[in-house]
Amino acid sequence: MAYSLLLSLLYLGMLCGNGLVSARSELFTPDPSRGPHFTGCRSREQETFRCWWSAGIFQNLTEPGALRVFYMTKHALSEWQECPDYTRTVKNECYFNKTFTQIWTSYCIQLRSVRENITYDEACFTVENIVHPDPPIGLNWTLLNVSRSGLHYDILVRWAPPPSADVQMGWMSLEYQVQYRVRNNSHWEMLDLESGTQQSIYGLHTDKEYEVRVRCKMTAFDNFGEFSDSIIVHVAQIPSKESTFPTTLVLIFGMIGVVILLVLLIFSQQQRLMVIFLPPIPAPKIKGIDPELLKNGKLDQLNSLLSSQDMYKPDFYHEDPWVEFIQLDLDDPAEKNESSDTQHLLGLSRSGSSHVLNFKSDDDSGRASCYDPEIPNPEDLATLLPGHSGRGDNHPLVSRSSSSIPDLGVQQTSEVKETPIQKQPAVPSWVNMDFYAQVSDFTPAGGVVLSPGQLNSSLEKKKEEENEKKIQFQLVSDGAYTSENTARQLSANVPSSPGPEQGYQTFPTQAVEGTSERGVPGCPPSDSQMPYLLPEAPPSPILPPVSDYTVVQEVDAQHSLLLNPPSSQPAICPHSPNKHLPAMPTMPMGYLTPDFLGNLTP
Amino acid sequence: MSRSLKQVAVLLVALLCLDPHGRVGSAPICAHGPSGCHVPSLADLFDRVIQHSARMHSLSNDLHSEFEQYFLPSKNHIGKIYRKCHTSNILTPNGKENAQKLAREELTEVILKLLMAWRDPLFQLHQSMADQQDFNSFSSNKALEMGDMAHELRKGVEKVAEKMRVLGMLGNSVTGLSAAEAMLPLSESGEAMSDYELLYCFRRDSNKVQNYLKILKCRIVPEHDC
C-alpha cells in the first residue's frame, strides 16, 4: 500500500517537473541563478489570485510578451489557456479574477516562451491552499491596569479583520496572531492564535516602548498573511515610590517600639510575672506551728510546741475505754524457776552481748488512742503462757493489770504518753507521776506486782533486791528517738554508778544517738524511746523522760523484774495514777508475741 | 418460611407495579412546547452545525498535514495537484458567487450528498489506518472521530433541512435528500484510493461543506448584512 503510494507520488512529481509553486512567501523572491520561473501565486480573499514570475538570467526575455503564462484547470478536461489578465501596472503578474477563479479546483500554470515554444516552469495548486489573507486593520491598544508598584501594566489590543476577507458571511474564517517586542529589539514575543479581534498583553514594563503587530490566516490552513503596521505602546512610570517608602519605615519603627515596651514591662514586673507564671508550691503547714521553727528551732522549743499541740486534744484517751493490757499469768511458782526462755533471753544479756529486746516503735504511729488492737488479749497470752515451758514468771512481758498498776514504765507513743498528762487534772506537772514502776513481787498466781508511787521505797526495795542480783534492764534507745536530755543524763549516770553486776551494760553511745524531736520534756520520748537507765543510778534529779514501756531485761532468781533502775526517779511523765495503763504499742519487734515467746523457748 | 417470603416478594412486586409513583416513565422532552424547555431556533441549529463542520475540517487538516510529514518529507507541495476524488462527480459550486447563486434546496442537497458520499470511505480510512503500524493510535483515533463527526453532521444537516421544510423555507422539490447514495471511493483507474488520497479529498470536501453551510445560513437566517 505504501509502496504503491510512493510510486504514484514519484510519478506525479515527475509530471510536475522541477518548477514548484510554493505558497510560502519565502519563494517570492526570484532566483537570479535560474532561468524564467514562477516566483509565487497568492490569493487574498479566496476569490481571486495572482501569479508572478521572473525572467531570471535570461535577460533577453524581460520585454513584455516574451514570456507567457498558460493555465489549465484539471477540473474539467480543458486545454491550456493563456493568462486572462496580465496586470499592466505590475510587471510579470498574471491576475485571475473571480470568473476565472475556482475554489477547490486544481490549477496548473506554465511559463512559456512562445517564440521558442519552451516551457520554462510549471506549477500546480488549489486556490484555497494559496490564500494569504490581508493584514488586519485598525490596530489599537487600551490600558487595562497598572500594578501597585507602578512597574508593570497590562494592555488590551484590538483590531479589525481585513476588509477584503468576507468574514461576515463566513466565507473566510480567520485566526489572528499578535506579536510584540521591546522597541528596537530583535526578538518578537508571539502570543497564541486568537479567533476573536482582541487580545490582552500582560506584564509590560513601564518606561519601555513596545511594538505590537498582528497578522492572520485562515483557520485550518497554514498560510499567514502579512503583518499589520506596528503600533507603539508606552506607559510612563508614575513616581509612587515615596508614598510606599515611609509607610514601611513607620511600620518598622512601630514594631521596634512595641518590642522595647514589652521588654521594659517584663523586666519591671518580673516578680509579679514570676508569681503568675510560676506559682510557688505551698509548703506543708501544721496548724499553729511555724515550719521554720521545726527546721531550725531548739529541741526544747519543739518539745513545748508539740506538747502544746496535744494539750488541745483532750479526747484521745477518753475514747479508749477498751485499752487492753497484757496480763502475765504465771500458773505456778514452780514455773518461775524455769526460766529457760527468759534466761535464754536474759542470758544473752549476761554474756555481755548487747542482746536487747529491741522494741522498736513505729514511726509516726499516729495513734490516737492508747489502745492498740493488735495487742493480744491477756487471756490469749495467758493461755499461751502455760504452754511454754519455762515461761513462767520469766515472762519478759510486763503484764499490766488494768488498774492495779497505775504506773508502769511502758513505752508508749507520744500521744499515749501525753494523754495521761491530760488525764491528770490536778497535776500541774508530771513530777508526781509514776511513769514506771518496779516489780516488787510476784503473786503466787504468777502476777507481777508492781509497786507504784513511792519511789523511794521502791527504789530502796529495788536496791535491796539488786544487791543480790542486779538485773539490768537495759533500755535501749532507738537511736533516732532518744532525747538529748535523756541521753545526757543517761550518759551522766553511767559513769557515776558503781561497777555493775551482770548485765550491766552501758550504751552511752547508743543512748546519745539521735535527738528526740518531740516529746514532753521530762517524759520519755515518743515511740520507742528507751533511755538508758542505770539500775544503780544514784538518786538523781528528775529523771529524763522514759519510754512508755520498759523492756524487761532480766529476771533475777527471785523472780523480780527489774524494769528500771531503782535509783532513777520515775519518769516525770504525766501519768495519772488512775489512768489505765497504756497498752503496749504495737511493735513487731518489741512486742513479744506468743510466737516470739515460743521462739524464746529453747 | 419460604412461603411467607414468596408472599412478601409478590406483595412487593405488586406494590411496585401498581404504584404509579414507583414506575419510571419517560416523558417526551419539550412535550409542552416552548414553556417546557428551550427549543433551539434555526439559527442556533445552523450555528451548531457550522461549528461541527469546522471541527471536522480542522481534524481532516491535522491528519492531512501529519500524513504529509510522514510520507512527504520534502517541502515540495507535489501532492497538491490534480487528483480525482470520488466525489468529483458531484456538481458542486466552485466559488462563493456560484454557491450564492445556487438555490437553497440544491445547496442543501449538495451538502447532504457530499456527507453521504463520505460515510463509507471514512470508515474504510479508519480501518486502514488502524491496521497500519505506521500510524500511532492518536492518528487512527482522529480518523475514527472524523468518521463519527461526518455521520453526526449528516444527521444534523438532515434535521436542519427538516426544520427548514417545516418552516416553509425549502420547497418540496428537494428529492435528493433521501436518494443520496453511498459511493465507493474509486479513483480514476478504478483502484481503491490510498489513505493519503482519501485524506486529501476529504480535506477538500469538508472545507466545501463548511463553506456551503455558512452560505446557506447566511441566506436562510438574515443577520447583519450577510
- Please report, for residues A345, A350, A351, A555, B169, the alpha-carbon distance to residue A340 in angstroms, rounded to integers and kept in the order given: 8, 14, 15, 11, 146
What's the rounded mean pLDDT across residues A274-296? 76
> Best-predicted range by mean pLDDT among A195-209, A419-433, A549-563?
A195-209
pLDDT digits 0-9 by tens, A170-188: 899 999 999 999 988 899 9
Contacts B218 to A, Cβ<8 Å: 168-170
CATH of the domain at B66: 1.20.1250.10
Which range marks the domain in which residue B213 is found? Answer: 41-220
Q: Are residues B164 and B64 in the same domain?
A: yes
**pTM tops 0.90:** no
Is residue B142 one of the residues assigned to a domain?
Answer: yes
| Predicted pLDDT at B70 | 75
pLDDT digits (tens, 9 = 90+) for B191-220: 667 788 888 899 999 999 999 999 999 888
CA distance A201 to chain B (A): 27
Taking the C-alpha atoms of residue A568 and residue A552, their distance in angstroms, rounded to an integer, is: 16
Share of chain A above pLDDT 90, in %: 20
Can you tell me whether residue A214 is helix, strand or coil? Answer: strand
Q: Does A387 contact chain B (CB < 8 Å)?
A: no
Cα–chain center distance at B184: 18
Answer whether B76 touches A (CB < 8 Å): yes
* Cα–Cα separations (whole angstroms), residue A155 to A209, A214, A230, A318, B216: 13, 15, 15, 106, 38
User: Same domain, yes or no, for B47 and B62?
Assistant: yes
Q: Which element (helix H / strand E) includes A374?
A: none
The CATH H-level (homologous superfamily) assignment of domain A37-130 is Immunoglobulins (2.60.40.10)
| Predicted local confidence at residue A522, as pLDDT | 45
Q: Which pLDDT band, with edges at 50, 70 and 90, does B83 fall under?
A: low
Q: Where are the domains of chain A?
A: 37-130, 137-234
Task: Evaluate if residue B94 carries a pLDDT over 60.
Answer: yes
* Cβ neighbours of residue A349 closer than 8 Å, sequence gap 6 or more: A355, A356, A472, A474, A503, A505, A553, A554
> Where in A207-257 does DSSP place strands (E)?
209-218, 231-234
Task: Indicate if B22 and B62 belong to the same structural domain.
Answer: no
Nearest by CB to residue B71, choosing from A5, A171, A221, is: A5
Residue B172's pLDDT is what?
Answer: 66
Q: Give the single-character DSSP code of A224.
A: B
Report if residue B162 sits inside a domain.
yes
Residue A580 has pLDDT above 50, yes or no: no
- Sort out which chain A residues have CB atoms less than 8 A from B128's CB and list them: 1
CA–chain centroid gap for A395, Å, is 65
Q: What is the pLDDT of residue A179?
A: 95
pLDDT reported for residue B2: 74
Q: Are residues B23 and B129 in the same domain?
A: no
Residue B226 forms part of a structural domain: no
Mean pLDDT of chain A: 67
Contact state of B50 with A222 under an 8 Å Cβ cutoff: no
Say yes or no: B101 and B163 in one domain: yes
Looking at the fold, whether B48 and B139 belong to one and the same domain comes out as yes
- Other CB atoms within a 10 A radius of the CB of residue A140 amount to 14
Domain count, chain B: 2
Identity of the residue numbered A424: Q
Say yes or no: A12 contacts chain B, CB-CB below 8 A: yes
**Residue A81 forms contact with B (CB below 8 Å):** no
A335-357 residue pLDDT tens: 555 555 555 555 554 444 444 44
Helix ranges (DSSP H) in A19-167: none
Axis crossing angle, helix B137-167 with helix B195-220, rounded to the nearest 10: 30
DSSP per-residue letters across B1-15: -HHHHHHHHHHHHHH
Half-sphere exposure of A205 (CA within 13 A, CB side): 6
B208 and B133 belong to one structural domain: yes
Is residue B131 within 8 angstroms of chain A, CB to CB? no
Please report, rounded to a whole number, the percentage of residues in chain A having pLDDT higher than 70.
Answer: 45
Residue B207 maps to a domain: yes
Same topology, domains A37-130 and A137-234? Answer is: yes
Strand locations in A183-305 (E): 189-190, 198-205, 209-218, 231-234
Closest CB from A2, A12, A102 relative to B78: A12
Q: B195–A13: do the CB atoms touch at under 8 Å?
A: no
Query: From edge to edge, which strands make up the β-sheet containing A81-82?
Result: A81-82, A67-73, A106-113, A118-126
Overall average pLDDT of the A92-107 stretch: 90
Please name the member of A8, A12, A171 whose beta carbon is closest to the beta carbon of B211: A171
Taking the Cβ of residue B154 and every Cβ of chain A, the question of whether any pair is shorter than 8 Å is answered with no
Instruction: Flag whether pLDDT at A370 surpasses 80.
Output: no
A137-234 topology per CATH: Immunoglobulin-like (2.60.40)
Where residue A322 falls among pLDDT bands split at 50, 70, 90? low
Highest average pLDDT, of A389-393, B68-72, B206-210, comes from: B206-210
Is A171 in contact with B214 (Cβ distance < 8 A)?
yes
Find how far residue A215's CA is from the centre of its chain: 67
CA distance B57 to chain A (A): 7
d(CA B96, CA B211) in angstroms, rounded, equals 8
Does residue B23 share a domain with residue B54? no
Same domain as B185, residue B113: yes
Task: Say if A106 is an interface residue toward chain B (CB within 8 Å).
Answer: yes
Q: Are residues B113 and B188 in the same domain?
A: yes
Co-location of B25 and B101 in the same domain: no
Q: What are phi and psi of A215, to 5 degrees?
A: -145, 170
- Nearest Cβ partner of B82 from A9, A108, A129? A108
Q: Which of B94, B194, B211 sits opposite A102 (nearest CB)?
A: B94
> How far, in Å, are A27, A28, A53, A105 from residue A67 at the CA level?
20, 18, 9, 25
Residues B116 and B133 in one domain: yes
